[in-house]
Amino acid sequence: MLIALRSIITSYYSPRTLGEIAVDHAQNLIFHVDYPMERYYYIVSTMPLFYAIDVNEDGVNGNEEFYDSPSGMFVNGISATD
């Protein structure tokens, strides 16, 4: 399983549809969780901070292996600002 970690730009509840939200955030990716009356939207960056591989395919739990950092923020699993 390949995991892409992205920065959350903003998040909020809204009764609006995904199409309506997408008009306001055309440059970003949108994820949402449906609730009975509203949705919770996550607006995230298109460029992942890094990729990881879950070699055991047991979900995100800390044993994933660092794969790549397209953002350039991480080198060999360590923040470039450290």
The pTM score is 0.62
Tokens 């994820």 sit on residue? 31
Cβ proximity of 56 and 33 under 8 Å: no
Cβ proximity of 28 and 44 under 8 Å: yes
pLDDT at 76: 59
pLDDT at 10: 94
* Residue extents of the structural domains in the chain: 2-57
* Digit-coded pLDDT (tens) for 11-69: 999 999 999 999 999 999 999 998 887 899 999 998 888 888 887 888 777 777 777 77
